[in-house]
Structure 1
Amino acid sequence: MTSFQALVVSEQTDGRFVSQVQTREVADLPAGEVLIRVQYSSLNYKDALSASGNRGVTKLYPHTPGIDAAGIVEQSSVSEFAAGDEVIVTGYDLGMNTSGGFAQYIRVPAAWLLKRPQGLSLREAMLLGTAGLTAALCVAKLEQAGLTPDAGPVLVTGATGGVGSIAVALLASLGYQVAAATGKAEQAEFLKRLGATQIVNRSSLLDGTDKAMLKPQWAGAVDTVGGDILFNVVKALHYGGSLACCGLTAGVAFNASVLPFILRGVNLLGVDSVELPLVVKASMWDKLSLQWKLSNLETLAHEVRLEQLPAAIEQMLAAKTSGRILVNLT
């Protein structure tokens, strides 16, 4: 029987949720066709919610979060994968109600897996992770809706977060003029290093929530926060502009009006990276490993070991993190 280390979140008798590194057995993992020895994972906001006991993310505890994992196939009962294959998995039920990537082993359905893109190492794949995939999907949707680098400035909200920071870097690498919105003034230089040409104070994006329309400012936008900021940015899009929406840290509701849509013909584009068909995920990963490969990935990341994760989770919940947090399980 193979033992391994995993971060386990347990509910206490007083209702608190505590994260601890524990020894687990491979035999206790859920059913699945492929057993993977995890090399790297990454910390996402959804993982922090799971670790805090959010029942909208994870229903049953004890539980191991981690919606991302990259590693080496140890055992496989399907022909598509063989022992020694390097693979990645992001989303689906991993880390939500299926034991996730904050562990040295996972067992998952083969339908969740992709072989490592040739242009990325396992480490690079997790420097991107779900955040990178989501950012790429946002940019792809904006371009499909007609956005081009010469259209004008593109706003990224929540720009110091995982999705936001990669969106800033990716848009800048593709030649866009990027405005990065954040409530962390001390991170301005970090965002400029990623390629932002303008820093926007997050509080200014709440001005005019009582108005049906705002002065056009943005050719496009990637919104990672939701709430009233989301619709204020929609109201400030250029004629025919588009916003890709993928987050909710500022709230799930906003007061909407049809006016920006029928007077300026703007587009609000929803982006999901969890239940996306595997073939679409594969196409995005191919882009991220080739024509959209970022040269500054390492500057986005802070690396932690498994035992350092509880502290990193607390920092993320307190909005004190920036960029990506890579989890090294080697």
Structure 2
Amino acid sequence: MTTTDDVTSAASYRPNVADASSRRWLVTGAAGQLGREILGLLSELGATDVRAVTRDELDITDADATARVLDEWLGGADDGASVVLNCAAYTAVDDAETNEPAALAINGDGVANLARATAGRARLVHVSTDYVFAGDGTSPYPPDAPTDPQSAYGRTKLAGERAVRELAPADGYVVRTAWVYGAHGPNFVRTMLRLAGSHDTLTVVDDQVGSPTWTRHLGLGLIELALSDAPAGIYHCTGGGQCSWFDLARAAFTEDGLDPERVAPTTSDAFPRPAPRPAYSVMSSAQWQAAGLTPLPDWRAALHDAFERDGDALKP
């Protein structure tokens, strides 16, 4: 299904990112799926003042180290041209159920350390998740919808959101996204194609609904936000429209020239997991658009473009 709020086709997606070279960028979590995508985008856009830090170079759970690295990077008073894109996160959703303190150290306390170090000095753009909601909605969640995380992962990500809003209210941005896939790192699309090589048929849940989001489009959206005059706050940035994991798997098979009939639907009950998955993860882009930001393309068009551009990298 592709019910959308203001769908933009992939071909017409033109975010306003022309001024990327006018900013100084620090990307945390630079070795991850989204961090690597953003670094590639900044290079394409001609940004030359870019610092990429992995966990080995900056452990954001260390408050003193975080302050020291940010002080060194900023080098004095903020001139309005410094942006921190925080892609560092504990993303092992199931493991977080038994390791919540470890997840909280990164997703909550670590984000608080970044917010303290950047407040009043640099724009902080922090990536969050649909897991902060209960997942029992029936219409796209707006940013101010009540939060009610049902998993340890969701609770720790909500803690990070609150830290940004409390510690950096004037220049902290929280961007919730969902169902992210791309050329770098493990993700659902790559997993489906890998399994296609070893299984004649696959069963995939069709009772969880969300909005697939290509890392390239998400990265461009985050850069556009960082360059914009949008007020600080919470935003939603996902691919347009909605589908089930079953729909996404079949679409990925189709794009790879495989028979989508090899994918059969099933229910979440058939795949019990330690952490509950939201049944409904669709988030509204209305506030994103109201701030003058470009809505991401429809998920199906974006998936086609992803295979056109990164098809080899998406395959096992």
Q: Which has the higher helix share?
A: 2
From the CA coordinates, give the structure whose radius of gyration is larger.
1
What TM-score, normalized to structure 2?
Answer: 0.26
What TM-score, normalized to structure 1?
Answer: 0.25
